[in-house]
């Protein structure tokens, strides 16, 4: 076996491996898309069968998310004032702050830290609190809807 035969065998092996990887990836993607399509079909069936309950769950989710959005600074400040959030990006303990500084530092801490320190900042903190409020509302309204079944 010569050098060129060896190189050809290595190349053929690499092509076979790449082909197997592509086939596996396509199979996985097909399974994910098929699974997602099944979930969407199930959701559509539930909505068609229970339009009133679906509307109530959606309204509860939006309402609690909106309340959480509006109350995010106060909620974050309460957590920060209680000493649950550690220190601000300046190194100052958040629990020693007050007013807007307390709310802003608390929101930034909930959001993963200040933007300057590589975190998500106040916007991310507000998003986290809003998402938690919306998820809580969705869970509570879904439980209430299920209880009335």
Mean pLDDT of 80-84: 94
Mean pLDDT of 114-139: 94
CB within 8 Å of 132: residues ≥ 6 apart: 68
Burial readout 53-69 (b: 16 or more C-beta within 10 A, e: otherwise)? bbebbeebbeebbebbb
Regarding whether 81 and 27 lie in a shared domain, the answer is no
Mean pLDDT of 120-147: 92
Q: Which two tokens stand for residue 36?
A: 């997602």
Regarding whether 130 and 79 lie in a shared domain, the answer is yes
Regarding whether 106 and 146 lie in a shared domain, the answer is yes
Residue 130 has pLDDT above 70, yes or no: yes
Mean pLDDT of 36-61: 87
Look up the domain containing 20 and give its range. Answer: 1-49
Rg of the chain over Cα atoms, rounded to whole angstroms, equals 26
């Amino acid at each position: 076996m010569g050098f060129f035969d060896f190189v050809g065998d290595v190349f053929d092996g690499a092509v076979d491996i790449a082909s197997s990887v592509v086939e596996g990836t396509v199979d996985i993607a097909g399974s994910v898309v098929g699974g997602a399509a099944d979930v969407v079909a199930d959701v559509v069936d539930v909505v068609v069968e229970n339009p009133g309950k679906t509307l109530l769950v959606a309204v509860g989710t939006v309402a609690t998310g909106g309340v959480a959005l509006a109350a995010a600074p106060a909620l974050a400040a309460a957590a920060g004032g209680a000493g649950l959030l550690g220190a601000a990006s300046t190194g100052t303990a958040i629990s020693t702050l007050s007013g807007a500084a307390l709310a802003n530092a608390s929101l930034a801490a909930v959001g993963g830290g200040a933007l300057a320190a590589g975190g998500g900042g106040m916007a991310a903190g507000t998003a986290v609190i809003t998402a938690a409020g919306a998820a809580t509302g969705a869970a509570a309204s879904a439980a209430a809807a299920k209880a009335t079944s």
